Structure 1
Amino acid sequence: MQKLPTVLVLSGLDPSGGAGIQADIQAITALGAHPLPVVTCLTVQDTRNVYDSVAVDTDLLRRQLMCLREDIQVDAIKLGALGSAAIVDLLVDFLRSQPPCPLVLDPVIKAAGGGELADNALVARMRQKLFPRATVITPNGPELSILGDDEDPQRAAMKLLDGGCPAVLATGGHGEDPLITNRLYTRNAAPKDWKLKRNGGEYHGSGCTLAAALSAGLARRQSLSDAIENAQSYVSGTINRALRVGRGQPVPYRGPTERTEGR
């Protein structure tokens, strides 16, 4: 009987299927790991924007996490939209009770359309309590500026490292240059760049897809550098086969490589 590494995923539910927990499940499965999905918040969302978000009850989440802990070994953890500062506190308690494993934190703050997915209390709690526990965080350009309180990406990343975060993968999907530059900042090494050809504009759920794919690689015991390399290659492929789902951003196609084209 086959056994796959597992990734515990805590993220929000996007009804459009483009981002959030569905993107995580699809990417983790595609890259050879088994997702353990726990929904942290329910959103009113489409491919254009987020209009509302309601956090899931923390007692229910606690029971779900305890149930999983008693039954399944977790090989990596991926965190997306968390819903509330109270959920961060719950997660910190859970992490203390778990054997250490790689943790990828995608600090989801705003939707591309400007809709809020994290208030100031949640952002502050993530920065203080979760960033130091993460293997790597994966902010996009706007998120990096907010989290590091600086418009300059390098200074913002250095502030996060100085605050205890072990590694920052600053993603470049929100820029306009012909090449997307994803840059890894760590405490004891020079920044490392990966460059990809930009394919059009922005894609709904591309950041979730990258972080989830990265967590699958780490669950499979790849080095951080190799996991980033493989995750980027996967995301590039999903964007090349993107879907037109709604009137907003295209959605990365995370399904089987061979698919039947619609009308």
Structure 2
Amino acid sequence: MAIPNILTIAGSDPSGGAGIQADLKTIAANGAYGMSVITALTAQNTRGVDAVHVVPTGFVKDQMLSIAEDIRVDAIKIGMLANAETVLAVAEGLGRFADIPVVLDPVCVSTSGARLLEPDAIDALKDRLIPLASVLTPNLPEAGELLGAPVPSSIQDMENAADALLRMGSGSVLLKGGHLSGASSCDLLVASNTRSWLRAERIDTQNTHGTGCTLSAAIAAQIPRQGSLLQAVGAAKDYVHGAIVHSGLLSVGHGHGPVNHGWNRN
């Protein structure tokens, strides 16, 4: 099989730990060819987000059209969308990519706490984009925002939230449980007739900048390479776990440092 072509639709992080930059490094590290549509430019580092410049929606659609007219796309990852207008533009643009797996990471707030999705965009995300997603990958605070409910705080809460999120129309939901306490980080993958818990050892580190972007990009890169979604998610989680374990080899910034995207290629 030819090397998979993976398209990431997301914002830019000049510090390289999250967003488009993290996605492209992750896609390459997972054996695929990365392409990008940029939805927003940010001024940020490991300490926080200083400014956001949203790309005009017409140009977002132009970027998507340029790819669609020329290049085979095997999977799509969607990250930061900033506002309702961009959500709607991306949803419209996906019409040119029929039957292609879509991994949707509903980025609402950065690791440092900066708002990356305007509150009024939540309804557009739920109405127009989530039903187009093959996999929805929220963390627990994002699940609370999407559901208009308290943040899940237990395993039972996660099961209830994952079922409620699935009813919004995506093909499956990977609810990330990293915000819970405990020796293990537990994620829950649910689809119409399956429920699987994926556990990994919790690593004591502050190098967590961009972990959500990295995981969703890795899933997109693994979907064309694996026999099932569960296998793709498992391979992606193994990659991210290794990237966190080896993040201490980096010396990037003074806040929440990035994971080591190239750990498996060194």
Deviation string, structure 1 residues 97-145 (Cα, Å, up to 9, x no partner) = 3221100001100012221000122221111111111011111111111
The aligned counterpart of 1:178 is: 183
CA distance in 1, matches of 2:62, 2:257: 36
Whichever residue aligns with residue 147 of structure 2, its letter is G
The aligned counterpart of 2:83 is: 84
Conserved? CA contact 1:65–1:94, under 8 Å: yes
Report the 3-state secondary structure (helix = DSSP H, G, I; strand = E; otherwise coil) of the residue aligned with 1:83: coil
Answer yes or no: is 1:28 the counterpart of 2:20.
no
| Unmatched segments (≥5 aa) in structure 2 | 151-156
Please point out which of 255, 260, 264 is paired with 1:253: 260
The aligned counterpart of 2:15 is: 16
| Unmatched segments (≥5 aa) in structure 1 | none
Mapping for residues 208-223 of structure 1, pairs under 5 Å: 208-223=213-228
| Cα offset, 1:256, TM superposition | 5.2
The aligned counterpart of 1:244 is: 251
Sequence identity (%): 38
Mapping for residues 132-147 of structure 1, pairs under 5 Å: 132-147=131-146
- How many positions carry a matched residue from both structures? 257
Mapping for residues 124-203 of structure 1, pairs under 5 Å: 124-151=123-150, 152-189=157-194, 191-202=195-206, 203=208
Question: Taking structure 1 as the reference length, what is the TM-score of the superposition?
Answer: 0.92
Conserved? CA contact 2:243–2:263, under 8 Å: no
Deviation string, structure 1 residues 128-183 (Cα, Å, up to 9, x no partner) = 11111101111111111111223333332222222222211011223331100011
| Cα offset, 1:59, TM superposition | 1.6
Whichever residue aligns with residue 196 of structure 1, its letter is A
CA distance in 1, matches of 2:193, 2:84: 31
The aligned counterpart of 1:6 is: 5
Conserved? CA contact 1:136–1:166, under 8 Å: yes
Whichever residue aligns with residue 213 of structure 1, its letter is A
Whichever residue aligns with residue 244 of structure 1, its letter is S
Whichever residue aligns with residue 145 of structure 1, its letter is G
| Cα offset, 1:258, TM superposition | 6.3
Conserved? CA contact 1:148–1:157, under 8 Å: no
CA distance in 2, matches of 1:128, 1:171: 22
| Cα offset, 1:51, TM superposition | 3.1
CA distance in 2, matches of 1:154, 1:44: 36
Deviation string, structure 1 residues 176-197 (Cα, Å, up to 9, x no partner) = 31100011122323x3101100
Which stretches of structure 1, 4 residues or longer, exceed 3 Å deviation after superposition?
256-259
Conserved? CA contact 1:150–1:156, under 8 Å: no
Please point out which of 210, 220, 237 is paired with 1:205: 210
Report the 3-state secondary structure (helix = DSSP H, G, I; strand = E; otherwise coil) of the residue aligned with 2:239: helix
Question: Taking structure 2 as the reference length, what is the TM-score of the superposition?
Answer: 0.91
CA distance in 1, matches of 2:2, 2:131: 31
CA distance in 1, matches of 2:159, 2:197: 12
TM-align CA RMSD: 1.7
Deviation string, structure 1 residues 4-30 (Cα, Å, up to 9, x no partner) = 111111111112111111110011111
